[in-house]
Amino acid sequence: MSNSSEFTIEQNWQANHAGPGRWLFSHARRQPLMILGVLGGAAGNAGLAALVPLLIGRAYQAIQATPPDLSGLQRIAWIIVISQVARGLILQLARNLSSETLCQRIERDIRQELYLSLIGKSMSFHDSHPTGDLMARATNDVRQINLLFNPGLNLVIGSANFILMPLLMAPAIHPQLLLVPLIYLTAYGFVVRDYLRQLRPVTEMVRHEFGNVNTALAEAIEGIETVKGAAQEEYETSRFRRTINKWRRAYVAQAEIEARFLPLLMLGLLQAAGMGHSLWLLRSGAIDVGEVLAFNGLLLLFGFPTWAAQFAYSRVAAGLASARRILELLNARSDLDQNENGYQQPLRGAVAFDQVTFHYAAAAKATLTNISFRVEPGQTVAIVGQTGSGKSTIAKLLNRIYDVQRGAVRIDGVKVQDWNLAALRRQISIIEQDLYLFSRTIAENIAFGCPEAGEEEIIAAAQAAQADEFIMNFSAGYATVIGERGTTLSGGQRQRIALARAFLTDPAILILDDATSAIDSETEDHIQRAIERAAANRTTFLITHRLSQIRWADQILVLRQGQIVASGTHEELLRSSEAYRDIFARYK
């Protein structure tokens, strides 16, 4: 059964992922007071705006009366002043404050939902999605959704109310005056629908190309050492320029569509037709001059929605395109699941691979083929072989970073798929050659897998990993903040911190994947003794070419092209396996 996430972190509400519109609405409806503020403010704002031309028409009638109705004129003036002050200070302020609060809360909730989803996705998902594109969606696309609500939908709702008012108030002057606004509104609806249809693919292209720009930038920055080492700054600059130009062309295409916004032309035709119709009714005696003024004043209300819509609808289209891109991530399926009700007993460390075959999604052929072996609790197993033979893949199948396509991996006699995933991974620790340290303090990095650990426990783990001495040489000691990925530390220092992290979690299965490759021989002697102590009474996998570590393994597996070609102890393999002797001779 496939799921949208490998791990699901519970929230107190669930968004609707059936489509971008439903998804956005499910977020918005959590803020009913803000929605009420936007709708009420927009309706009141438009109503008071429509009141002005009607009052001006009455003012003209008061002036034309014999004698002029000055008290009535004064009363109308005060109504206009009070209504417009209330409109600006109360209704518009309430509407804009509600709209801004609404969009900021929605942006916050969407960022949280997306972050939790990305954290819970499986490695196969992250392998197939460039980090730069994920960052573009998590930052800029979420921001576009903010702009969809404000100013986008805020202006659309305000415009709808401004369009509605002439339709409601014109018939009160004369029923026939409804004709011109109704024709305009019908034509406006068809034109806007066609405008949005043209805008959708272009806005999606703009968002897609922005993701490509972010990906190119992230790759260049992450690989800056490689770029400089190969003197490829000029090539990377040219490559980035080409990516930027594609984004620019997409933006220009969007601007060309926005420039052809026909309602701007239709507004002039509306006002001309409205003036002609009202003058015809005046000439026939159906209405007076004051009512002509009032009606044509009402038609001026169409100016705001016509001008604002050009900007508002592009914001809505861009926001919906971004919502589709984010939903694509949220709804991406994963074959892994956390299996909350799965097996979660203390792990003893018995491991069995039974006819395991595995291949990565992008691989042309299987990485592992019909792999079978048994490991008893507490044994140390060394896995050796040429680069690309599948050694590290075995480690990633043990804690279900990936799932096998055929065969079974069992721990303590239970298939790894039947384990509670969190319980399984908490009891397995992997230290890789290309390890990751966070831009946090050294103490926080050591305690990453065991955040409740105290200071004494952290120091003891560091001492066991031969890391305490160099840590204390820093002025801030364990409170020293290291750079991203631990770039301020040497390779040996990073690996000793990773070893300390593993010692602190006290795993039942310890996997060292070339974990001492960047450590000098003198330091290795100290760490070797630490590893031997750590390996006591726990199942340990050593993926290494260090003969000093291979020799004392209880079992050695020799891999070649994804298959086990020999297994046994060091002495047995020296006698029986030519492949092992070749490896031994190469690294001796």
Residue position matching structure tokens 């068809």? 190
- Cis preceding linkage at 507, omega within 30: no
Query: How far is 260 from 133, CA to CA, in rounded Å?
Result: 31
Query: How far is 537 from 509, CA to CA, in rounded Å?
Result: 10
CATH number, domain 351-587, options 2.170.120.12, 3.40.50.300, 3.40.50.720, 3.10.20.90 = 3.40.50.300
Query: How far is 317 from 203, CA to CA, in rounded Å?
Result: 7
**The pLDDT value given to residue 429:** 86
Q: What is the largest CA-CA distance in the chain?
A: 126
Query: How far is 177 from 169, CA to CA, in rounded Å?
Result: 9
Contact 354, 366 (CB under 8 A): no
**The pLDDT value given to residue 319:** 92
Nearest to 165 by CA among 42, 318, 63, 253: 42
**The pLDDT value given to residue 350:** 93
Domain range list for the chain: 20-330, 351-587
pLDDT in tens, the chain (588 residues): 446 666 555 566 788 888 999 999 999 999 999 999 999 999 999 999 999 999 998 898 888 887 888 888 899 999 999 999 998 888 989 999 999 999 999 999 999 999 888 888 877 788 788 888 898 899 999 999 999 999 999 999 998 999 999 999 999 899 999 999 999 989 888 888 888 899 889 999 998 898 889 888 888 887 887 888 888 888 888 888 999 999 999 989 988 888 887 787 888 888 899 999 999 999 998 999 999 999 999 999 998 888 887 788 888 999 999 999 999 998 887 767 778 888 988 999 999 999 999 988 777 788 999 999 999 998 999 998 888 888 889 988 998 888 888 999 999 999 999 999 888 988 888 887 767 788 889 999 999 888 888 999 999 988 888 888 889 998 899 999 887 767 778 777 888 888 888 888 888 898 888 766 556 666 666 666 667 766 677 899 988 777 767 877 889 999 988 899 999 988 888 888 888 887 766 655
**The pLDDT value given to residue 7:** 59
**The pLDDT value given to residue 1:** 42
* CATH class assigned to 20-330: mainly alpha
Which sign, positive or negative, has the C-alpha torsion 518, 524, 530, 535? Answer: positive
CATH topology match: 20-330 vs 351-587: no
**The pLDDT value given to residue 522:** 63
| pTM of the predicted structure, to 2 decimals | 0.79
**The pLDDT value given to residue 586:** 65
